[in-house]
Structure 1
Amino acid sequence: MLQIHLRSIVLHQLALLFLAVALAPTAMCQGAQRVSVIRPERADLVESVNLVGTLEPIASADVVPRVTGYLGSVSVDVGDRVRRGDLVAQVSAPDLDAALTRAEAQSRAAEAGVSQAQAGLADAKASRDEGAADVRVAQAILTSRHHQAQMAAVLEEVQEKETQRTRRLVEQGAATAEQLEASEGALASAQAARRTADSEVDIAKARIGAAEARAAAAGASVTSAQVGVEAAAALVEAARAAAAEARTRVGFCQLVCPFEEAVVTTRHLHPGAHVSANQSTVLTLMDTRTLRVVLPVPEGDSVRLAMGQSVQLSFRAAGVAPLEASLSRISGALDRSTRTVRAEVDLDNSAQSLRPGMFCTAAIQVRSIPGAIVLSGGAVHTRSGPDGEPQTYVWVAQGGIAKQVVVTLGLDDGIVTEIQEGLSGSETVISAGLSGLRDGAAVEIVEGDSK
């Protein structure tokens, strides 16, 4: 009987053991925490620097007169399109017109002075040539007189010898006193002729001196006349320059478009208004065929910019479609007042759908990450790490057990978060039902929540 009783006890205990084992999964399921899960995904990410930009014209200018006067007319108005050289306004400046008339009259007078000086030069040259001719004639006369004086001297010498011979003959009684008297008379005549010839030589020399003096004076007159011509020519050049300057200043009264093509954006003054040189703005013109988006880039992001980076632009104005462009230029220095770097994007505005002054949102793509592991929603959490620094982690459901996995984060655009390290992409990440969850706790995945 005892053996039967013992056998019954053993069998009862074995039955209880088998029942406990059979009921264990049900008990575990009844104690597991219900959670929702998501699965990491692969996505191509683009990191962007998001900024607010302003549209500016590629070129703009205030039309300002370079002369003082009164605004005579304005040929265009706001919204009108103009081309290079088109007259947009006219300044009335009577004093400049009078100055031009005066300068042109002075130029004509100076030119007349040149003609007079040239005529005086011609007269002086004629006098110089006449003086030179007189010198040549006087030199010829002097030569002739020299010859006559020489002949007279020879005749005097011959006659003197003849008289001496006659005087000896008279002493010898071979000639008469009358013959001696005649010979001495001939000698006196020869001496007189020689003295006359010498006088003619002196007169001829004096005539040469006078002729040379007149020629020298004529030559000085030519030099003076040449200086006068040069001075008159200089006056003409000065008068012409003054007339050209006056003509240029009168031309400044016409205000023209400086751009190949532009639109009038502002009209500041109306006809009759007084305008001051280089001060009064009449119109504002802008070349809007190309616009530039001006982006103030914070100092921290400025080092990540590079020429040619893609820029996505969206506009606040209704009806303006988003555009894709590229970074056109980057300033080489920060603005000291704003601590930003100026970056610009050029936009073709030939359709005139954009306006200077518009705002836009710009996303400059600074980095692309192909095939990145990403999580959406609030699946990433932060705790204090062993060193006291913040540590990011996710809850992973593995074999019905919750496990904390430390992850390294990358790009976060507010919708998805890049997981750089910690996940392979095949895990089941708990996204909801985390209240009170502990590492190693049993979890039950709610059907339909696993992706």
Structure 2
Amino acid sequence: MNRRTLLLLVLAASSGAAAFAWYTMRAPAVAAMVVHSQPLVRTLLFSARVASTSRVEIGATLTGRVAQVNVAEGARVKRGDILVQLESDELQAALAQAQAGVRQAQAKLAALQSSGRSAVQANLEQAESVLLAAKKDLARTQELVARNFVSAARLDESQRAAAVATAQRDAALGQLQANARQGADWVGAQAQVAQAQATLASAQARLEQATLTAPADARVLLRGVEPGQIVQPGRALLTLALDSPVQLVGQVDERYMAQVQLGQKAVMRADAFAQQPFDAKVQFIAPVVDAQRGAVEVKLILSGPVPDFLREDMTLSVELVTGQRDQALVVPAQALGAQAGGTTASVRLAQEGRVVARSVRLGLRTLDAVEVLDGLAAGDVILLSPTPAVGQRVKADTRAGFATPKRAGDDAGAAMSNAMGR
């Protein structure tokens, strides 16, 4: 081997060693982001349906044939409007009969008050006169018997006459008392009047039951009756949605129930009118969990006027704001790795070309990002990849950054969304 060849080999070995050293010492590029303040919004997405707070079924309380149905499905009715009319000829005849019965009972009572009482009073006065005469005759007879002018038989006859007159007077007095207001005849006549009036009230009520009216201002949802049908009590003929604040009822997965609170704002959308969102807020949270669905019922009410396109039982998409920060230091959840479940975690930063670990305290979190309350400052560069290890050289590549997703309808740069359990 000549000297020139040996020199070339030495130079080649030196170049290879230098290349190997440069390769092993080169800092790898790792995806990273610069921490800065930005809005953060956590939302919860689920479905709901439109429901009136009051829905009633209208039915008959008696058996009868339908004469008229005055409303159609979708019609609006006012309180007291006649909805269904049953045939009422027989009921009207029963009412007329009850009215006649009342008049008859009242006439009997009036007669008892006038002529009947006068006749009984006259009978009493006559009986008292006869009794007075019998007593005088008995006294005179007793005196004559004492003088032996008449026999004892005559005294017995006078005593019997006096006893009969006393009984007649007592009977007339009893008759008068019976005709008095507290007497049996008077009470009986009054009872007959009351019974006739009760029969009249029952007949009037049954006649009124033949007319089915709207209990309040409402909209007809379902019509299940036609003229000529025979209806019976217990069968729903019409279904009405009473005019009342519209409620939106949804089911939220029980895993997220801790995020839902009364008064929270929501944006509602109907699939057929997606470009016409409207606002609502949480009014009610069920105190129990539906065991079959594993969900909690949530009711919302509109924050403004009712949109014209809303229909009963319409399905809506709900975007409920469950947490919001106007400005917060936000890091992507992927930067926390497996530690993202607690209130504290550790992130890795790029400082002076090397990986450094930093403990942070966490706040509001979404599926994509987490608010950092303590441990980071604006301008810090955090690594988005779990490698390389702490202490190794690293080159932070912040070109990709971290794009926070936008809520539907928000402007650019708005808060990130947390789409959960629809």
TM-score (norm 1): 0.69
Residues in 1 aligned to 2:312 and 2:318: alpha-carbon distance in whole angstroms = 16
String of CA shifts for 1:71-101, please: whole Å, max 9, x gaps: 1101111222111111111111444334333
Distance 1:314 1:450, change over 3 A: closer
Cα deviation for residue 44 of structure 1 reads 4.3
> 1:250 pairs with 160, 184, 207, which one?
207
Work out whether 1:222 is the aligned partner of 2:176.
yes
Partner of 1:342: 297
Partner secondary structure for residue 282 of structure 1:
strand
| Partner residue in 2 for 1:264 | 220
Q: What does 1:87-98 correspond to in 2, within 5 Å?
A: 87-98=82-93
1:32–1:367 Cα change, 3 Å? closer
Give 1:12's aligned residue. none
Distance 2:44 2:369 in 1: 17
Matches within 5 A, 1:93-112: 93-112=88-107
CA gap 1:197/1:91 in 2 versus in 1, 3 angstroms = same
Structure 2 Cα separation of the partners of residues 78 and 254 of structure 1? 19
Give the deviation of 1:126 after TM superposition.
Answer: 2.2
Equivalent-residue separation in structure 2 for 1:392 and 1:436 (angstroms): 16
Q: CA contact under 8 A between 2:64 and 2:230: conserved in structure 1?
A: yes
- Counterpart code for 1:442: R
The CA deviation at 1:365 is: 4.0
SS in structure 1 of the partner of residue 268 of structure 2: strand
Is the contact between residue 29 and residue 444 of structure 1 (CA under 8 Å) also seen in structure 2? no
Report the counterpart of residue 281 of structure 2 in structure 1. Answer: 326
Question: In the alignment, what sits opposite 2:263?
Answer: 308
Question: Is the 1:379–1:394 contact (alpha carbons within 8 Å) kept by the matching residues of 2?
Answer: no
Query: Partners of 2:339 and 2:196 in 1: how far apart?
Result: 91
Structure 1 position 277 matched with structure 2 position 229: no
Q: Which residues in structure 2 correspond to 1:75-154 (within 5 Å)? A: 75-118=70-113, 119-140=115-136, 145=140, 149=144
- SS at structure 2 position matched to 1:136: helix
What letter matches 2:163 in structure 1? G
Q: Secondary structure at the match of 2:288?
A: strand
Task: Name the structure where helix makes up a greater proportion of residues.
Answer: 1
**What amino acid is aligned across from residue 359 of structure 1 in structure 2?**
T
TM-score by length of 2: 0.74
Match of 1:398 in 2: 351
For residue 271 of structure 1, give the secondary structure of its aligned residue in structure 2.
Answer: coil
Q: What are the ranges of 5 or more consecutive residues in structure 1 without an aligned counterpart? A: 1-22, 154-193
SS at match of 2:188: helix
- Map of 2:166 onto structure 1: 212
Partners of 1:374 and 1:98 in 2: how far apart? 82
Q: How does 1:145-164 map to 2 (within 5 A)?
A: 145=140, 149=144
Instruction: Show CA shifts across 1:331-361 (max 9, x none).
Output: 3333344343333222365564422212223
- Structure 2: gaps of 5 or more residues: 1-17, 403-422
Are the counterparts in 1 of residues 335 and 383 from structure 2 also a CA contact under 8 Å? Answer: no
Asked if 1:426 is matched to 2:379, the reply is yes
CA contact (8 A) 2:34 2:398 kept: no
Deviations 1:197-235 (A, max 9, x none): 999877765543332222122123335554233223212
CA distance in 2, matches of 1:283, 1:29: 83
Residue type of the partner of 1:38?
Answer: M
Q: 1:147 to 1:238 in 2, by over 3 A?
A: closer
* 2: CA distance, partners of 1:339 / 1:35: 42
Question: How do 1:368-387 and structure 2 match up within 5 A?
Answer: 368-369=324-325, 371-376=327-332, 380=335, 382=337
**Correspondence list, 1:44-83, <5 A:** 44-83=39-78
Distance 1:199 1:437 in 2: 149
Deviation, structure 1 residue 131: 1.0
Q: Which residue of 2 aligns with 1:180?
A: none
| Superposition CA RMSD, Å | 4.0
| Within-5 A mapping of 1:404-423 | 405=358, 411-420=364-373, 422-423=375-376
Confirm or deny: 8 A CA contact 2:48 2:249 kept in the other structure.
Answer: yes
Identity %: 23
Report the Cα distance in structure 2 between the residues aligned to 1:142 and 1:383, rounded to whole angstroms. Answer: 128
User: Which structure is larger by alpha-carbon Rg, 1 or 2?
Assistant: 1
Which residues of 2 match residues 159-238 of structure 1 at below 5 A? 195=149, 207-225=161-179, 226-238=183-195
Q: Structure 1 residues 449, 220: closer, same or farther in 2, change over 3 A?
A: closer
CA contact (8 A) 2:33 2:398 kept: no
Out of 294, 307, 315, the residue aligned to residue 359 of structure 1 is 315
Deviations 1:244-286 (A, max 9, x none): 1121011001111112x1111221111111111122x222111
Deviation at 1:304, TM superposition (A): 5.0
The more displaced of 291-300 and 364-373 is 364-373
CA distance in 1, matches of 2:144, 2:300: 108
What's the offset of the Cα at 1:401? 2.4
- Per-residue CA shift, 1:7-30, capped at 9, x if unaligned? xxxxxxxxxxxxxxxx99x96999
Which of residues 387, 393, 414 in structure 2 aligns to 1:442? Answer: 393
What is the CA distance between 1:292 and its match in structure 2? 0.6
Aligned residues: 377
Residue 50 (structure 1) shift = 3.4
Please give the alpha-carbon distance, in whole angstroms, between the structure 1 residues aligned to 2:324 and 2:230. Answer: 60
Distance in 2, matches of 1:111 and 1:363, equals: 71
